[in-house]
Structure 1
Amino acid sequence: MTLTVTHCVASIPTYPICKHQHKPPRSLSRRILSRSNRVSNVNIPQSTSLTFEPRNECECFNLYEQQVPYGQAWAWQKSIVNEKKTLIQRNEDCSDSLFVLQHHPVYTLGTASSEQFLNFDIKDSPFDIYRTERGGEVTYHGPGQIVMYPIMNLRNHKMDLHWYLRSLEEVIIRALSKVFCIKASRLKGLTGVWHGNQKLAAIGIRVSQWITYHGLSLNVTTDLTPFRSIVPCGLLDYQVGSVRGLLKEFQSSANCKRARLPDPDDGQLLDITCKSLIKEFSEVFQVRINYETISRLELLERKPVNHLEEETN
């Protein structure tokens, strides 16, 4: 099997380019975290094959049960990136951050994305469209898809974008292999993780002054229909797949025993996948996960968001 993540990098749009923009409710963080606190301290199973000593701390906003408007999550990322840049300028400690969530249905493009990969009139889009500063072509985010936005200070890890992209791929490959026996792998010349010609996940990043943002998305229980309205990541000869879809294919196979939940429902599947992704993220990047509380997001909402500087390496 193969899993897909697509590399995307671009520049900051200050607005969605589609008329269907919805403003997030005020104090969204209070509403989101009040309902997600019960999963914020999940006991992630410890790996039996790998032990490590975390070198760095990583604050984690585990909102995977919620559908966060894209614009809101984007604003949170930019606020944290600016915060980290300020800390670095002051020669103060700058640790890592991680958002885990779902989005309302939305299409996003990198700054260099071509509208030829949209199979509809951009003025009559079925969902909001955002042109972002990540790289790569158009992709879709929606319910049933787990999105991870790592905001990493690569000075604390390795100042190498190739290494960073391969590490994000490794997180997904390990998570799918260990929990679902999905043999995920990379395809030569393509950023991402694949199963055959099915793309299960997409990776799109931006790096500014060695601070990363944007990240990866994994189709778990996602309705794949909206992908038919685009050419995902500009790749014409590949399909889009999901974890749920692959597990249905495996139901009659005796090659893999999924002892804990042989046939999980959608909620269980999202929960299992989320825990596995966070666990593998912690191990791959050797960080200690510290689950953040409501006050942190409320503080971000009160801070003004400044235009980020152009990408510098």
Structure 2
Amino acid sequence: MSGGGAKRVLEAWKLGVVKYGDALRLQERLVADRRAGRIPDLVLSLQHPPTYTLGKRRTDHNLLVPESSLGGLGAELHRTERGGDVTFHGPRQAVLYPILSLRDIGLGARRYVEGLESAMIEVASLYGIKARPGGACETGVWVGDRKIGAIGVRISSGFTSHGLAFNIDPDLGYFKHIVPCGIADKEVTSLRREAAVELPPDEVIHDQLVQSLARTFYFSDVKLKDDSECAEMMCSAATSQS
């Protein structure tokens, strides 16, 4: 990673709860803008309503219930072009979608993924949890044999989208309907389940993840995007066609 040169600021968009399809369209628009140099490196910080997503390998067999039954669970299914296998997003799970130029940061894909893992491990440590990276075969972040953070990224011409999902205190029952990330016989856990201390509000943990990600990738500061600008972009994404 490049640690020298001009001051580098990471822009952070705090979006609250966002429908998955709206977030996907927003990412596509922002990647195009970042590629054209119209916007700086940034990260979207948000949560999703209950949503299952499949990666570009389309491992539908790891969805353990019929797709037609997901509505009864209050969940949606989306097929995406990110890496990784099936996963779940839902309330009380911190999701970060970095829109970055890896060329500007001086990183390859593997080091980028390792950086996302490091950010989650650092935040877990703030609550007395010893987490570890999964390595090449079990990408993500683990506490023993229990997965606390998932990673699924898309890198197109050196520009990133999608990202990480860190379990603060989601309803873990949703994970019983999938083989999480295609890894059978392993549990999914959360910060709430593993921590021996009281947790702060979710927003604090979102902010800690953003700050950790910025440090990991050698940004000198984080600049919060104005709330009105975020609301305008989300409104535009919600009304646009995919």
Candidates 234, 243, 246, aligned match of 2:182: 234
State how many pairs are aligned.
233
Structure 2 counterpart of 1:5:
none
Superposition deviation, residue 306 in structure 1: 9.4
Deviation at 1:53, TM superposition (A): 9.0
Residue 115 of structure 2 is aligned to residue 163 of structure 1: no
What are the equivalent positions in structure 2 for 1:119-138 lying under 5 Å apart? 119-125=64-70, 126=73, 127-138=75-86
Deviation for aligned residue 1:54: 7.7
User: Partners in 2 of 1:204 and 1:305 — Cα distance?
Assistant: 25
Give the match's secondary structure for 2:13.
strand
Aligned equivalent of 2:168, options 203, 220, 230? 220
1:149, CA displacement in angstroms? 0.5
The one-letter code matched in structure 1 to 2:12 is C
Partner of residue 199 from structure 1, selected from 138, 144, 147:
147
Return the alpha-carbon distance in structure 1 between the equivalents of residues 103 and 180 of structure 2.
32
1:298 and 2:232 aligned: yes
Which residue matches 1:107?
A: 52
User: CA separation in 2, counterparts of 1:300 and 1:224?
Assistant: 28
The counterpart of 1:95, out of the listed 40, 60, 63, is: 40
Matched, 1:183 2:135: no
Distance 1:301 1:85 in 2: 22
How far apart, in 2, do the equivalents of 1:296 and 1:139 lie?
26
**Shift in Å, 1:263:** 2.3
Give the whole-Å Cα distance in 2 for the aligned partners of 1:61 and 1:112: 29
Is residue 76 from structure 1 mapped to residue 26 from structure 2 by the alignment? yes
What is the CA distance between 1:181 and its match in structure 2? 1.5
* Equivalent AA in structure 1 for residue 10 of structure 2: C
Consecutive unaligned residues of structure 1, counting only runs of 5 or more, are: 1-51, 251-261, 308-313
Percent of aligned pairs sharing the same letter: 32
In the alignment, which residue of structure 2 is the partner of 1:263?
Answer: 198
Question: SS at 1:180's partner residue?
Answer: coil
Are residues 280 and 123 of structure 1, via their aligned partners in 2, closer, same or farther at CA, if it must alter by over 3 Å? same
Secondary structure of 1:171's partner? helix
Please say which structure displays the higher CA radius of gyration.
1
Offset, 1:295: 2.3
Q: 1:187 to 1:86 in 2, by over 3 A?
A: closer
Rounded Cα–Cα distance in structure 2 between residues aligned with 1:54 and 1:238: 44
- Does residue 19 of structure 2 align to residue 58 of structure 1? no
The secondary structure found in structure 1 opposite 2:121 is helix
The 3-state SS of whatever aligns with 2:112 is helix
Distance 1:219 1:54, change over 3 A: farther
Cα offsets for 1:80-111 (capped at 9, x unmatched): 00111222xxxx7x521111111100100012
- 2:222 paired with 1:289: yes
* TM, length-normalised to structure 2: 0.88
Partner secondary structure for residue 98 of structure 2: strand
Indicate if the aligned counterparts of 1:167 and 1:285 stay in contact, CA closer than 8 A.
Answer: yes
Q: Following the alignment from structure 2 to structure 1, what is the Cα–Cα distance between the partners of residues 230 and 65?
A: 39
Shift of 1:297: 4.8
More displaced 10-residue stretch of structure 1: 203-212 or 291-300: 291-300
**Alignment RMSD:** 2.3
Q: Which residue of 2 aligns with 1:86?
A: 36
Shift of 1:300: 6.6
1:106/1:54 Cα in 2 relative to 1: closer, same or farther (>3 Å)? farther
**Aligned partner of 2:212 among 267, 271, 280:** 280
* TM-fit CA distance, 1:176: 1.2
Q: 1:299 to 1:236 in 2, by over 3 A?
A: closer
Q: Relative CO higher for 1 or 2, CA cutoff 8 Å, sep ≥ 6?
A: 1
Secondary structure of the residue that 1:221 maps to in structure 2? coil
Q: Residue 217 of structure 2 aligns to which amino acid in structure 1?
A: F
Letter in 2 for 1:298: E
Instruction: Tell me the CA shift for residue 134 of structure 1.
Output: 0.3
